[in-house]
Amino acid sequence: MHHVERIGASTITRVDRFIYAVGYVVEVLRQVPRFLTHRRTGSRVLTMQVLFTGVEALSVIATISLGIGTVIVIQGLSLLPQFGQGRLIYSILIIVITRELGPILTALIVTARSGTAIATELGNMVVSHEIEAYSITGINPIRHIVVPRLIGVTFSTFLLNLYFNVFGLLGSFVVTQFVNPVSLQEYWSGLLEALSMTDVASSIVKSLVFGAITALVATFHGLQVERSSTEIPVAAIRSVGRGITLLIVANALITLAYYL
Amino acid sequence: MKLRYRYANQVVGVFVIVAIALTVILIVLLGVNQRWFRRNYEYYARFDTARDVAVGMSITFRGFTVGRVREITLTETNDVHVRFTIQEEYIDKVTRDSLIQVVTNPLGGGQILLHQGREPTEPIEEGSQIPTHDSEQGLRLREEDRVIILRDTDPIAQALGQIDPILANVDKVLLNVVGLTEEIDLAFRGESVGPVGAALTSFERAVADLQHTVAGVNRVVNETTIQIDSLLGDVQLIARNLEQTSAALADPTGLVKTLLDPSGSIATLLDDDNRLFEDITLIIASLERSIAGLDESLTQVAEFTAYLNTAQPQILSLLEEGRQTITTGQAVLQGIRNNPLIRGGIPEAREQPTTFRSVRDEEF
């Protein structure tokens, strides 16, 4: 009887948390249009968020995408021409870099860098009663703290995904010049032939969804901190763990929708 | 304050503008490359199945992509209606008697080859049907050599094209093996009317005939042996009589003395009221019968020898045919035991030279 009681209590708690999280997401999304119409109040936060999440992560993204593009080209050009399918390298580059790895790797890097930072920052704000101060002075903390971070992280993820593609495909071209030299025109022609608008749309949708998930999870767990500073690292860890899980699930669902 | 944070707006602005510019350039290049602003001419084809066709599959002509598949639908008459487009700059390649062929491979995803009509004509009207390679119209065009068929350069597609006939042959062979197995089963059950059953039946009959022949030869030999024994008995009897007669003649006190003595046989012969004479006559008659019997026996021996001489080629022929039948039967059974697919079929028989080439070549 005791176990049944415990299972029931646990279920009710989880359902409550889920409903709370859904309510939080709805409230954040409801505040987005209001933030955009009254942008001046939080524009500095938004700019700094793009600077931190987007610009400062550019070097990491560029390095990783160059490396991945290089590996794909070397492996592909060593294997595919043996089957007379050398041109498949373009399709593989598009599938791996544009459609799959670009969005998810960018989102993982953003989660690791910015997700933890946001959760930590918001946790500290809660512990130092800054959130309470916002509320007391009549400022909606969701609109002025969470929404700029949501927009900034989402937009940054989208831009970083674009840069990931550019560096990945450019890096592969540079490597191609050492392995199997082709003209830039031929290379881009092959890439653009393999690229479709569906690939572009899939990549854009993924990057936007992943950015939103990263920001929402990070802010949610950051605001979950109650009073002790020892809760902050726990919130950061949870935000990364839950964020990565949700990213992978969302990636699978979007990829599934792409093939349906 | 770091420079980056002091000029955060400018840095973010550059970051965003570069990204937007790249996006615009990418979309423009994509549009140019994928001919968003160029005209395409639509045609259609009918296939039996949509298995090897996919939307977006390229249509190539001499290695150049000249069009793409746009739509695949199943009609009410269960035909697969494939709508495809040909690019504006290649529309002059779609002449009368042109046809299309689907070539697939597991890695490349396949493509559709456009084969141009042999006679140079104006491009066919947009929206027309282009026959497929395997359709009745396509077959007729190919038979009449009204279309230029080029081989596909995709090595995998070529390999698959070569594998297909092999697989078809393997399929046929397997069907034959299955049929042969069933035939052998029926043959062993005695229900087959096919060649294997006939061969087994023939072999069985030949063995039975051979056994019958051997039994006949044994019977003849036995009878002949009995006759020869009887003859030998007669000859031994005659020889014994002759021996006794010779012994009697050689004895000076015996038959001669008896004959020459005045009181002997001659005198007795002349003076015994023909009693001795009759005895002698009886003896001579007995000798004549013995000689006649011997003569008859020798005649029979001669006849039997002649019969044997006459029958020898036939017996040899029968024995040779029996041996060949057994050899052939062994080869057939060996072939059945050795699966032709696995062990190379019926082994080559080593020719066994006969004692003579044929019955007619033998002098008899």
ipTM of the complex: 0.81
> Which among B9, B11, B108 has the least Cβ separation from residue A85?
B108
Whether A50 has a pLDDT exceeding 70, the answer reads yes
pLDDT greater at residue A117 or residue B316? A117
Amino acid letter, B22: L
**Number of DSSP helices (H) and strands (E) in chain B, helices first:** 9, 6
Whether B318 has a pLDDT exceeding 90, the answer reads no
Task: Give the number of C-alpha atoms closer than 13 A to the C-alpha of residue A241, restricted to the C-beta side.
Answer: 7
Task: Look at residues A11, A77, A51, A20 and name the one whose alpha carbon lies nearest to residue A220.
Answer: A20
CA distance B349 to B323: 13
Domain residue ranges in chain A: 2-259
Among B6, B7, B14, B15, the strongest candidate for a mutation testing the A interface, having the largest count of A CBs within 10 A, is B15
A74 pLDDT band (50/70/90 cuts)? confident
Domain residue ranges in chain B: 39-153, 195-343
The b-or-e profile of B181-212 (16+ CB within 10 A means b, else e) is eebbeebeeeebeeebbeebeebeebeeebee
Residues 109-168 in B contacting A (C-alpha not used; CB under 8 Å): 153-156
Task: Give the number of C-alpha atoms closer than 13 A to the C-alpha of residue B119, restricted to the C-beta side.
Answer: 9
Averaged pLDDT, B324-351 = 68
Q: Which tokens in the block code for residue A17?
A: 């948390």
Whether the CB-CB separation of A86 and A194 falls below 8 Å is answered with: no
CA B282, B285, B290, B293 torsion-angle sign? negative
Instruction: Judge: A47–B65 Cβ closer than 8 Å, yes or no.
Output: no
Residue A188 touches chain B, beta carbons under 8 Å = yes
CA distance B49 to A173: 40
pLDDT tens sequence across B10-49: 888 999 999 889 888 888 888 887 777 788 899 999 988 8
End-to-end CA distance of chain B: 132
pLDDT greater at residue B222 or residue A218? A218
Whether the CB-CB separation of A73 and A89 falls below 8 Å is answered with: yes
Whether A8 has a pLDDT exceeding 50, the answer reads yes
Residue A247 touches chain B, beta carbons under 8 Å = no
Among A39, A50, A98, the strongest candidate for a mutation testing the B interface, having the largest count of B CBs within 10 A, is A50
List of residues 6+ apart from A89 with CB closer than 8 A: A72, A73, A76, A77, A80, A190
pLDDT greater at residue A220 or residue B299? A220
Among B17, B24, B26, B154, the strongest candidate for a mutation testing the A interface, having the largest count of A CBs within 10 A, is B26
| Lowest model confidence (mean pLDDT) among B85-89, B317-321, B353-357 | B353-357
CA distance B35 to B86: 11
Whether the CB-CB separation of A229 and A127 falls below 8 Å is answered with: yes
Task: Give the number of C-alpha atoms closer than 13 A to the C-alpha of residue B10, restricted to the C-beta side.
Answer: 5
Averaged pLDDT, B259-286 = 70
pLDDT tens sequence across A226-249: 888 899 999 999 999 999 999 999
Q: Which chain A residues are Cβ-neighbours of B11 within 8 angstroms? A: 51, 55
Task: Give the number of C-alpha atoms closer than 13 A to the C-alpha of residue A100, restricted to the C-beta side.
Answer: 12
Q: Which tokens in the block code for residue B168?
A: 């078809």
Whether the CB-CB separation of A152 and A46 falls below 8 Å is answered with: yes
In the DSSP assignment, the letter for residue A140 is: -
Beta-strand relationship, B80-87 and B99-103: unpaired
Whether the CB-CB separation of B19 and A159 falls below 8 Å is answered with: yes
CA distance A148 to A156: 12
Averaged pLDDT, B335-360 = 60
CB pairs under 8 A between A and B: 59
Residue B15 touches chain A, beta carbons under 8 Å = yes
Angle A147-179/A184-194 helices, nearest 10 degrees?
130
Stretch (H or E) spanning B87:
strand B80-87
CA distance B262 to B275: 16
With residues binned 3-state (H G I as helix, E B as strand, rest as coil), the percentages for chain B, rounded to 5, are 60, 10, 30
Report angle CA A25, A28, A32 to the nearest 5 degrees. Answer: 135
Name, of A110-124, B65-79, B90-104, the range with top average pLDDT: A110-124
